A = this chain, B = another copy of it.
Amino acid sequence: MIVSFLPANITYQVQEEDILLNIASKANIMIDGSCGGKGKCGKCKVQIISGTVPEPDFAEKSVLTEKEIEQGYRLACRLPVKGDLTVKVLQTGDNISRKTRLTWMPETLDETKHIKKYYLEIEKATLKNQASDVQRIINALPEESYSIAPSLIPKIPGILEEGGSCITAAVKDKQIISVEKGDTTDHCYGIAFDIGTTTVVGMLWDLNKGKLIEVSALTNPQSVFGADVISRIHFVGNNPDNLILMKAKIQECFNHIIQDFLNRLKLQSIHIYEAAVVGNTTMSHLFTGADPARLARSPFTPVFCMPFDLNGSEMKININPQGNIHLLPNIAGHVGSDITGMLLASDIINLEGLSLAIDVGTNGEIVLAGKNRILACSTAAGPAFEGASIYQGMRAAPGAVEGVCIKYGEVNLKVIDDKEPEGICGSGLIDAVSELLDKGIIDHTGKLTDKETALEKGIHATLAERLRTGPKGKEFVLSWRNEQEDIVLTQKDIREVQLAKGAIYGGIVIMLKETGVQINDLDRIFLAGAFGNYIKKESALRIGLLPEISTEKIISIGNAAGIGASMALLSVNEREKARIQAQKVEHIELSGHADFQTEYIKAMNFPEY
């Protein structure tokens, strides 16, 4: 059977009957999904262009509109493929090259030059000098007592012959890890990977110069099996093979990113000698093939937290086969090595005063440092700020509403790449709620008013016009569209925002209580991640996502996890620092904390001005 995917126009030969979502995954077609194939989120909607259109099942009927069903829309996660099929994928993701949307990265970093490359002219063997090939290579190196990676042995005679005894050796910790013909000393690369639940980012560094060369990002291909870590853990639990599948997906993803670098810059994979990897604890587990099952239930025990050095070829990552992949340490079951990366990037442990750092994602991780302590916790903020669980939510991809400004009765939208709006992403969502709060369209309990009440309250008529009741209940129209559904913010979306921001704010309160300090004592708040970069600080304060603090004290630090990974990539000292700092962190388990539930509920309301 042949399945063709539009608009990418990719065809894939299917061996056996399967669900379209799985087939798409095999064909490396990204189809968004956030409920893990349960048919609940409706994100994996596709349109059948040719082939048999099956009757919609119960889940499809409850998620899709009648019109959509009529037009051949189905859910990829519910669609059995039994014959040739052509489908149009709606959210084609973005695949390679989201550089423009990536958050700030430093151009250069300090480095320990732990990979050294030497151009060598090797003496020929004679009856007077019968030293082995390996010995003659070692003799040509500066200093003494080098060893060589055993797996290089078979290749050495060929390289010496082809290179006419002129070779380049790459050395790490006095071990020769690569032998290459000719002079390749200029080519010495490393990649820092940040495995986000949603996006995997690769940062290619020149290890000779400590300079960032290129950034590439891909949607995490595990996404089709669930938007958040919990649904992926459940997916893994369904079938022992799924753990292997999830590991393979990350490997594939790394290799795609690497291939992108190789193609774009005309590099060879053998010249990539190091990688450093961060990710949340679930991602770390899936990357190493460790079963994350117990991360989904109390007491949330990880299999491991410590850092690891993994072999490139064993991990099937397309770098030099002797290349080393350094996985930074996790802190706890839901505070992963991405947060360790944030510790490095912010240097929060060594700053004067009291600092708070927040990484807002599906999990909101919060770090509080000061007074010789460092605390971390994770709150299940839910995927609202990443666009999932929001009716028309989407990731920060082209077409996403990323900013909302309501003035003089007009709604102005800022859409990524200035395209027609297709959905709303995290920063747009916060803006929208903030603006509607300001205008009194949402009250502090989160209730969306209706048109009549709005007009009574003297709200601008053009805004009141936007209040209506849609299929999902009360909603506010952000943008009218002709052919397609209007872009709206629903009452339920607002509830999701309240849950998310309540969880984070509740976590912050507990951390402050644990340390016995007040909001006013905070010297700074670091916002990490893409979200932290694009969020309007005023809006975040307005909805009560962040504690009341002057906006100058709120500092966006870019892709802190990725910067931390890059620092560890370039410097073994930073790796050691990461190991020590991760151990120093006191983990506060909110689910085991007596006050958290109270604080969480308290924080769900919006601040009253």
For window 204-221 of A, CB contacts with B under 8 Å fall at none
Q: Quick check: A135 and B306 within 8 Å, CB to CB?
A: yes
Question: Within 8 Å CB of A309, what residues of B?
Answer: 150
**Interface segment, one of A123-131, A414-422, A483-491, A560-568:** A123-131
**A183 beta carbon closer than 8 Å to chain B:** no
Whether A103 is near chain B, meaning CB under 8 Å from some CB there, is no
Q: Is the CB of A148 within 8 A of B589?
A: no
A293→B161 CA distance, assembly (Å): 13
Count residues of A near B (Cβ-Cβ below 8 Å): 47
A153-B304, A157-B294, A291-B154 known; A587-B299 Cβ under 8 A: no
CB of A298 within 8 Å of the partner chain:
yes
Say yes or no: is A108 at the interface (Cβ < 8 Å to chain B). Answer: no
- A36 within 8 A of partner (CB): no
0/1 interface trace, chain A 132-156, chain B, CB 8 Å (1 if under):
1111000000000001101101101
Of B150, B154, B303, the contact of A156 (CB 8 Å cutoff)? B303
Is the CB of A305 closer than 8 A to any CB of chain B?
yes
Q: Which residues of B contact A120 (CB under 8 A)?
A: none
Decide yes or no whether A332 CB sits under 8 A from chain B: yes
Tell me the complex Cα distance, A251–B299, Å: 45
A289 within 8 A of B: yes
- The answer to whether B302 and A153 have CB atoms under 8 Å apart is no
Is the Cβ of A290 less than 8 Å from the Cβ of B154?
yes
Cα(A299)–Cα(B7), bound, Å: 63
Given A132-B304, A135-B306, A304-B132, residue A157 in contact with residue B299 (CB < 8 A) = no
Kindly state whether residue A592 has any CB partner on chain B within 8 Å: yes
Residues of B within 8 A of A129 (CB): 299
CA distance A549 to B128 in the complex (A): 33
Q: How many copies does the complex hold?
A: 2
Smallest CB separation, A353 vs chain B (Å): 29
Residues in B neighbouring A64, C-beta threshold 8 A: none
User: Contact at A157–B293, with CB atoms within 8 Å?
Assistant: yes
**A291 vs B152: C-alpha distance when bound (angstroms):** 12
- CB neighbours of A306 from chain B (8 A): 132, 134-135, 147-148
Taking a contact as CB atoms closer than 8 A, the residue among B151, B158, B303, B587 that contacts A157 in the complex is: B303
Q: Does A506 contact B (CB under 8 A)?
A: no
- Chain B nearest CB, measured from A228 CB (Å): 20
If A130-B587, A332-B130 touch, does A150 touch B310 (CB 8 Å cutoff)? yes
| Cα–Cα distance between A127 and B151 once the two chains are bound (Å) | 45
A266 to chain B, nearest CB (A): 29
Whether the Cβ atoms of A157 and B291 lie closer than 8 Å is: yes
Nearest chain B CB to A126 CB, angstrom units:
5
Known: A288-B154, A290-B156, A290-B157. A303 touches B130 (CB 8 A): no
A150 neighbours in B (Cβ, 8 Å): 288, 308-310
Check A288 against B133 for contact (C-beta < 8 Å). Answer: no
Given A127-B298, A127-B589, A127-B592, the answer on whether A304 and B157 have CB atoms closer than 8 Å is no
19 contacts between A and B (CB under 8 A): A125-B294, A127-B589, A128-B592, A130-B299, A130-B300, A130-B332, A130-B333, A132-B304, A132-B306, A134-B303, A134-B305, A135-B305, A148-B304, A150-B308, A153-B303, A153-B304, A153-B308, A157-B293, A158-B291
Nearest first, the 9 A-B pairs at minimum CB distance are A125-B301, A127-B592, A134-B304, A154-B289, A132-B302, A127-B299, A132-B305, A150-B308, A153-B290
